[in-house]
Structure 1
Amino acid sequence: MTHIKYFLMGIACIAFTCTSLAVNNDPNYEKTELGIKLSLKNANIEIQFYTPSMVRVIKTPKNSSFKKESLSVVLKPKKTPFKIEEEKNELTLKSERLEIAINTQTGNISYTLPDDSLLLKEQTGSPLFTPFKDVDQDTYTVSQSFSLDPKETIYGLGILQNGKMSQRDLEVKMIQANREDYIPFFQSVKGYGLFWDNYSPTTFSDNTNATSFTSEVGDGIDYYFMYGGNADGVIANMRQLTGQAPMFPLWTYGYWQSKERYKSQEETVGVVKKYRDLGVPLDGIIQDWQYWGDNYHWNAMEFLNEEFPNPQKMVDDIHALNAHIIISIWASFGPKTQPYKELEAGNMLFNFTTWPQSGKSDWPPNMDYPSGVRVYDPYNPKARDIYWKYLNKGLFSLGIDGWWMDSTEPDHLDIKPEDFDEKTYLGSFRKVRNAFPLMTVGGVYKHMRETTSDKRVFILTRSAFAGQQRYAANTWSGDTEASWKTLKDQISSGLNFSLTGIPYWNSDIGGFFIWEFKDKLDDPEYRELYARWLQFATFTPMMRSHGADAPREIYQFGKKGEPVYDALEKYIDLRYSLLPYIYSEAWQITNRQSSLMRALVMDFPKDEKVLDLNDQYMFGHSFLVAPVCKSMYTEDKKENFQKEGYRKVYLPKGTEWFDYWTGERFSGGQTINKKAPIDVLPLYIKAGSIVPVGPKVDYAEEKDWSNLQINIYPGTDAEFTLYEDENDNYNYENGAYSEIKFIWNNDKQELTIKNRKGNFDGMLKERSFQLHIETTKTTKQITYKGEKMVIAF
């Protein structure tokens, strides 16, 4: 289909003449309040300053109109002081932080810093505008090429399970899919980012000749260039442009259990009870599909399955066990459901093929009994209203705590070219295809926020688009298969996704499908893989076990005293001990545009060895995580947990590092061999870190943080701000939270605890801190009452 498309584009070029920016010896421009408008022979260019470090570029064919309300961008341009300088064949716009030069002959734009350092430049490549007939609309296929430095590393583009850290030398067809979530945004190690604001199927290409975006449909080229100085600065710009990430409830950072699927309310509640009986921490259970019954009632948003006779009791029983439940909902409906009937009456359902195809549960699908399931039109505000009406009535009213929004790509099977001609509220499906997850997730978030402020929105979703961080969504990497390669690929995919500005990502612990392991959980190598995957997930924004083919509860992997079981329990406990650290880092995301999963380039951009390192990362600002991504302890399908296995770990230069498990100190800039038995994930703490450690609990809010251990890793000065609030409402948006800042002075060997800032209902007025210095193993216990303290060591 792709080859046919470009062949037709070639015919269009012959018939209608593709448009590049032609030479113009007499440029005609006007200064606007935000920038300039420049008229060339065959096209118009408009540059708008949004901030001193961010500009929007719009290019349109001559004598065409361009009106667009962005689905991703929420920032309104701010009036920015700038000046214009004219030279032969060039106009330069200068703000406080950026200089944008336009070649008035070619129309190409270059971006430099005030010190003349070149960041990025456009280049003349494929035609900018190729006439394209989108159903009954005359429009264009749009393209823009750029020149990057040969050794320049770039990051982002979404979830690409290609094992690459730097996204150079590849071509990507960006159409949302189960395991690939595309964001047309990349950022450079040089400290800039570029967001291509287009929602149609798009090709990103990078090779020795050029780096380009080409989108099938666009009335014009529309992109944003931003300079942040470093990765954090670029992400801050992207979130300023497309929306900030709200706080999740504290309980979402605990451990989550799921499988495909729990088949009765007795089974679902029983899993939570079993965890409580074992004393293994758990905060959430997930109810997967078919609680609605057969496929003709697909996604009915109510319990019609006879195995769930009293859903209110199920929810109440889970809550009584101090756990939470989220539930599977989809972007499609079966023909016998109430939502389907109302959406069909309003012509708000699409006709392309989706999953499930059959009304029967057999595999392969029995097409003698088609399901009739259809995807709804989330671009339509009335459709989003209908979606929430039934969600609120059938599920939220029961006390369901959050939403597992599956198939938010959506599932699109047996793809035909005419499928993209489907009419949506905003035009053809082709025109807005990739923004589908943004619209459907956004609809649920906005409606729930309008319904209550007493409960924070939490959405687990399978797909994402630029700006989705503002909708309280945590995106998982789709239906992966269990393999060591897949586990390793999750690392770079999660990091690149975070580098697009969307901070919350997770994966199915153990992989969704267990195709490679015929004996499933009886296969020792799979048990080893599962343990390593869970260790990795301990240091991701959501720790969630899920999959098909075999159950994944901890008690399926043995019992206490056995190697795999003990390893799993150890890391679930570790996750809970780090909740004060994780929740405080989450506040840095909401309040200071930080990221939880941090590619090493974010903190060590001058260390060339980390620029393309795809199997290590920082978790928050203190933990260096090096997941084990190959089998060490199962040879010939036999367990041998006594042998010695090692994992090579590179410690970035410019700092010292502490082995989390032993306290041993290492200089940065070296690769070490870390012994990694089945219960050891190589972890290192950056010198100059302060890490709070919480109590042993069975669920996140079981105990308050009145007695925390504060671990100090000296070697250089350090700061950490402990954040607390009411855990699950939006009062923090009105100032109901507290911050306690810890400052370590390395020269004086002195810790300052600043005056507590803020207040909220239930805030601890007095508490104990056990202050622990890692180098000397010195510990002091103090009582803190909210006033400044200075403690010398």
Structure 2
Amino acid sequence: MKKLMFIMAVAFIYFGCTTDNWKADNRGVTVFPEKPTDELLQAVRLEPYTEEIIKVSATADNQFSDQESLTALPPDSPVDFDVTETDQEVMLYTGKLSAAVSKITGEVRFYNAKGELILQEKKNGGKTFKPMEVDGVKGYEIRQVWESAPDEGLYGLGQHQAHEFNYKGKNEELFQYNTKVSVPVIISTKNYGILWDNYSLTRFGDPRPYAQLDVFDLYNAAGEVGGLTATYVDDIQNQKVYTIRQEKTIDYENLTTIKNFPEGFNFNKAKITWEGYLQPRESGVFRFLLYYAGYTKIWIDGRLMADRWRTAWNPSVAKFQVNMNEDTKYHLKLEWIPDGGVSYIGLKVLTPRPPEEQNRISFWSEMGDQINYFFMAGESMDQVIGNYRTLTGKAQVMPKWAMGFWQSRERYKTQDELLGVLREFRKRHIPIDNIVQDWSYWPVDQWGSHEFDPERFPDPKAMVDEVHANNAHIMISVWPKFYLGTQHFKEFDQNGWIYRRAIEDSIRDWIYPGYIGSFYDAYSPGARKLFWEQIKEHLYTKGFDAWWLDATEPDILSNASMDYRKALMNPTHLGPSVKYFNAFALMNAKGIYEGQRALNNNKRVFILTRSAFAGMQRYGAATWSGDIGTVWEDLKAQIPAGINFSMSGLPYWTMDIGGFCVEKRFETAKEGSDDMEEWRELNTRWYQFGAFAPLFRVHGQYPYREIWNIAPADHPAYKSMLWYNKLRYRLMPYIYSLAGAVYHHDYTIMRGLVMDFTHDPMVFDIGDQYMFGPAFMVCPVYRYKARERQVYFPKNKGWYNFYTGEFMEGGQTLTVDAPYDRMPLFVPAGAIIPLGPQIEYATQKIPDPITLYVYTGDDGSFDLYEDENTNYNYEKGQFATIPFTYNEKNKTLTIGKRKGSYDGMPEKRLFKVVFVTPGHPVEFDPDISTAQVVPYNGEVVEVPVR
């Protein structure tokens, strides 16, 4: 074995002229495999970014690309490393991590400091390259495969809404779409992560696209070979059949394929049914993807596989799988009611793969210069996410007001309407911190002008000033969209910074009578700067506090085919849209963040965006889950979607509480009707869940979403929503401390149980419970009229009912009460929860006294974090922490010595301490009168249990 330490500097490594099997420089090691499985592979390079992060690149060219990553930040300085060589491999050591590259095949393996294998690429390397060219730019379809341990769970990939949580053995196509946010990163229970550094259309798992149903032998409803029986009824009330025909595919998913519906068919009162038989040509697990809008039900052999609704203009997806035998026919029935107007429907399938292949980890991308990925290791999943943020950027401490309650609707149509809502909040003493002005505040033909329609908003500066005078903040919707002929459009267009295809094709939007416009090219630095300058001139100077960046997929034309979507944003400043398809939202946020911080570094940037990408957290950005539906199914889908988004390293996530797109029965529901009571219960359950999301935000179409518009003040729905709103504000010391931990400790607020209980394999597939910080296990209720639900309590930990203080042992599943007005909440032994006074906005009072609920039975700790709430002085060290530590053996809470300081910090304060023990349950009461009162002046105080 030969061991070397390399300190030489080499700018580029060229391969064609070398005879060496490997080379090194001060940044890393390059190996030239002798017999790679993919003969196009020329070289594999390892480059440590930190002791726990190693970049792996593989190229089919004669040199590596020098293009800078959009997601990963460059390392501050070279990392010290050692290199050893054997006959078979070259190994790079960082001290905490090592990576070995086979000199024969290029296969890479990763080991911890003890020499234990963490992850390895598929035997012989698992790399594939397929040359391709777009718009004269050459590149490759690329794929990398890794082995996956049978007992690991995999999480992340962004936010997807097909109810999947653990992605082990699953497939997900990664592209941006309204309600779908794709982030190419996974985190493993084996305490490693992979960031796939590519921006094009990507597939995790199976690299194949979903196939049409004609991969089966198809039979009609009568059992005759050839296709499914499609029955088109254009008058559902009278069962009037328009036509019956035989179809080999169900593919009406976009504006192109819906042209294949029967000519002249009227969808307004329609029902279409596909029925027949599928006979597989092979045996195994078939994975189906149902793309639906309207009311959709599908049965296989009489078993209901999905029963869904989504508004006609904004389809969603459902996934299911069926184990099938090639010698068997399976009855299929798909029943679809479009719910008014032309709608979208599709059913596709992935044919079986060998289980060992399906269970490997795989990323495939449509276009790249080379394979680039980052391997990140740690002692815990938190540390892995911390390393991800080291690589892609810190997440800021969000302004304190942003952690309070947000009220929004589509939309406040006038200045008086918005101000009237805020006044009503203050009149009713309902806590609120942010009110949102959604789209179309501009003159109807001036989208992108950032100007207000003077008839509806006569004095927007006065509107903003009144919001501020009422101790609230205001966010405004800003789209990257500009109508043809507006001054802002011309400013972009004259520099070549507008995507021209929509203009050339005269694409008109949905605003009557239809206007032509397009989006700006956020990949251009000049265009980003201009975008911010326009916002600054027209909106920032009026005092708006935050930016709602809508349609950032970019959604230039909703429901366009994938190919046409790429055409509509082509070319980008950096190259073909095929290559840069997924990163628009990242670039868009970058311009706003950098522009505002350069102008005013004393006010935290806050961005809410409908799409996101790896690295988004460094731009002061949060993401919401898009235009979801007002149905229980969508409520349920938000839970794993939000958890996985958070476990993708992006800590600030939210949703439209109550759902955005409304079923017609809720729009027309009358007082006392079943639909009205379901509407109220749906909103109540969603509100309860939303109070324990990183950001607490209500939004949606009509009916109006203010709680007094949902239910009268004496209704259980109103009372419950108000109770959880006030609880959120009582918890502000806890919640803002979590926001501080996001920045200072790379913490994750919304946490899959697997993050804190990795030792318990029972939690690997639990996607409908999660931890909100260290102290709350949140168990949302997502079924109508449910008054109980099953909850799993992770083992090796005791648990308390938050409301009653009742204690129970972990390691068991129990059916727990879930009354209308309360969502099940549980607290682990060792938790310490700080609560402040009742307030109506986040900074109304200094939280003094603070009530500390201490749940005994295990050791525990919590750091109270405080700073100046809205500026960036915390980056300069102007913040304070007070550590709380509970020792179970000594039965003592220690309030530790305060660390740090900031302007306005209270030097002295009071803590009220409440101990909850297994033998002494204490009901939750933030104003409890029996607490121990403890004066504190910044020095250590010990408080024994009594």
Q: TM-score, normalised by structure 1?
A: 0.92
Change (3 A) 1:763 1:80: same
Match of 2:369 in 1: 219
Note the 1:68-467 alignment, pairs <5 A.
68-76=67-75, 78-123=77-122, 124=124, 128-206=128-206, 208-209=356-357, 210-294=360-444, 296-353=445-502, 358=508, 361-362=511-512, 369-413=513-557, 414-415=560-561, 417=563, 420=566, 422-467=570-615
Q: CA deviation at 1:705?
A: 0.9
Distance in 2 between residues matched to 1:436 and 1:62, nearest whole Å? 27
Which residues in structure 2 correspond to 1:274-673 (within 5 Å)? 274-294=424-444, 296-353=445-502, 358=508, 361-362=511-512, 369-413=513-557, 414-415=560-561, 417=563, 420=566, 422-515=570-663, 517-519=665-667, 522=670, 523=675, 524-632=677-785, 645-673=787-815
User: 2:21–2:103: 8 Å Cα contact kept in structure 1?
Assistant: no
Match of 1:128, SS state, is strand
Give distance in 2, aligned partners of 1:120 and 1:791.
Answer: 46
Q: By how many angstroms is 1:335 displaced? A: 2.0
Return the letter of the residue paired with 2:21.
N
CA contact (8 A) 1:111 1:119 kept: yes
Aligned length: 750
CA distance in 1, matches of 2:20, 2:630: 59
Change (3 A) 1:143 1:715: same
Bigger shift: residues 770-779 or 306-315 = 770-779
Of the three residues 882, 887, 891, the one matched with 1:740 is 882
Higher alpha-carbon deviation: 106-115 or 253-262: 106-115
Alpha-carbon offset, residue 116 of structure 1 = 4.0
Contact 2:141 2:366 in 1 (8 A): yes
Aligned mate of 1:703, from 835, 845, 855: 845
Separation (CA, whole Å) in 2 of partners of 1:56 and 1:31: 14
Contact kept in structure 1, 2:448 and 2:489, CA below 8 Å: no
Aligned residue among 714, 717, 720 for 2:862: 720
Residue-by-residue CA offset, 1:23-52 (whole Å, 9 max, x unaligned): xxx971112223211123541111111122
SS of aligned partner of 1:55: strand
CA contact (8 A) 1:600 1:610 kept: yes
| Segment drifting more, 236-245 vs 712-721 | 712-721
What is the CA-CA distance between 1:516 and the residue it aligns to? 6.7
> 1:33 aligns to what?
26
For the 8 Å contact 1:352–1:412, the answer to whether it is kept is no
Whether 2:943 is the aligned partner of 1:791: answer yes
Change (3 A) 1:750 1:499: same
Q: Tell me the SS of whatever aligns to 1:319.
A: helix
Shift of 1:98: 2.0
Residue aligning to 2:333: none
Task: Tell me by how many angstroms 1:478 deviates.
Answer: 0.5
Give the match's secondary structure for 1:733: helix
Structure 1 counterpart SS, 2:580: helix
> What letter is aligned with 1:661?
Y
Cα distance between partner residues in 1 of 2:916 and 2:641: 33
Deviations 1:730-783 (A, max 9, x none): 111112211111122222222222222222221112211111112245621122
Q: Secondary structure at the match of 2:498?
A: coil
Q: Is the 8 A contact 1:217 1:431 kept in 2?
A: yes
Shift of 1:64: 4.4
Shift of 1:548: 1.1
User: Using the alignment, how far apart are the partners of 1:712 and 1:126 within structure 2?
Assistant: 51
| Matching residue of 1:55 | 54
Whether the 8 Å CA contact 2:97–2:113 is kept in 1: the answer is yes
1:126 Cα deviation after fit: 7.2
CA displacement, residues 469-502 of structure 1 (integer Å, 9 cap, x when unaligned) = 0111110001001111211111111111111111
Compared CA separation, residues 418 and 672, structure 1 to 2 (3 A): closer
Q: 1:115: Cα distance to partner? A: 3.5
Once the two structures are TM-superposed, the CA of residue 95 in structure 1 deviates from its matched residue by 2.9
Tell me how far apart the structure 2 counterparts of residues 347 and 483 of structure 1 sit (CA, whole Å).
Answer: 43
8 Å contact kept, 2:198–2:365: yes
Distance 1:263-1:62 versus aligned 2 partners, 3 A rule: closer
Aligned to 2:872: 730
Given that 2:430 and 2:840 are in contact with CA atoms closer than 8 Å, whether structure 1 keeps it comes out as yes
What secondary structure does 1:535 align onto?
A: helix
For residues 660-700 of structure 1, the C-alpha deviation after alignment (integer angstroms, 9 at most, x for no partner) is: 00000011111122111111110011110111111111111
Q: Secondary structure at the match of 1:741?
A: strand
- How far residue 305 of structure 1 moved from its aligned partner, in angstroms, is 4.7
Query: Which one has the bigger helix percentage?
Result: 1
Question: Deviation per CA, 1:141-197, whole angstroms, max 9, x where unpaired?
Answer: 111111212342101110011211111233322221111111111111101101110
Query: Against the structure 1 CA distance between its residues 62 and 597, is the aligned structure 2 distance closer, same or farther, given a 3 Å change threshold?
Result: same
Structure 1 range deviating more: 235-244 or 516-525: 516-525
Larger mean Cα displacement after TM superposition, 63-72 or 128-137: 63-72
Cα distance in 1 for residues equivalent to 2:738 and 2:709? 33
| 1:77 CA displacement | 5.9
Tell me if the contact between 2:31 and 2:101 (Cα under 8 Å) persists in the aligned partners.
no
Task: Compute the displacement of 1:416 (Å).
Answer: 6.4
Whole-Å separation in 1 of the counterparts to 2:555 and 2:97: 42
Residue by residue over 1:190-217, the C-alpha shift from the partner in whole angstroms, topping out at 9 and shown as x without a partner, is: 0110111011111222563132211111
Instruction: Please give the secondary structure, in 2, of the residue aligned with 1:429.
Output: coil
CA-CA distance at 1:91 after TM superposition: 2.4
Instruction: Return the alpha-carbon distance in structure 2 between the equivalents of residues 139 and 791 of structure 1.
Output: 65
Q: Which amino acid aligns with 1:398?
A: K
Aligned partners of 1:126 and 1:715: how far apart in 2?
A: 49
- Of 700-709 and 394-403, deviating more is 700-709
- Supply the RMSD in Å over aligned alpha carbons: 1.9
Return 5+ residue gaps in structure 2 as ranges.
1-18, 35-39, 207-354, 923-929
Residues 755 and 388 (structure 1 numbering): CA distance in 2 closer, same or farther, change over 3 Å? same
Cα distance between partner residues in 2 of 1:472 and 1:530:
29
* Distance verdict in 2 for CA 1:521–1:569, change over 3 Å: farther
Residues 283 and 722 (structure 1 numbering): CA distance in 2 closer, same or farther, change over 3 Å? same
Distance in 1 between the 2:805 and 2:163 partners?
31
**Distance in structure 2 (CA, Å) of the matches to 1:650 and 1:518:** 33
CA contact (8 A) 1:134 1:217 kept: no
- What is the CA distance between 1:519 and its match in structure 2? 4.8
Residues of 1 paired with 2:579 and 2:439: CA distance? 31
Q: Aligned partner of 2:25: which letter?
A: T
User: The residue matched to 1:430 in structure 2 has which SS?
Assistant: coil
- Counterpart contact for 2:797–2:810, Cα < 8 Å: yes
Specify whether residues 672 and 419 from structure 1 end up closer, same or farther in structure 2 by C-alpha distance, changes over 3 A only: closer
Deviations along 1:698-752, one digit per CA (max 9) or x if unpaired, are 1111121121111111112221111111111111111221111112222222222
- 1:4 aligned partner: none
Q: Could you tell me which amino acid in structure 1 is paired with residue 109 of structure 2?
A: S
Given candidates 833, 849, 864, the residue that maps to 1:691 is: 833
TM-score if structure 2 supplies the norm length? 0.77
Is the 1:283–1:323 Cα contact (8 Å) retained in structure 2?
Answer: yes
Give the Cα–Cα distance (whole angstroms) in 1 for the partners of residues 610 and 147 of structure 2.
33
CA distance 1:275–1:650, change in 2 (3 Å) = same
Distance 1:727 1:439 in 2: 27
Larger radius of gyration: 2
Give the partner amino acid of 2:193: G
Q: What is the CA–CA distance in structure 2 between the aligned matches of 1:221 and 1:320, rounded to whole Å? A: 54
Q: Give the letter aligned to residue 595 of structure 1.
A: T
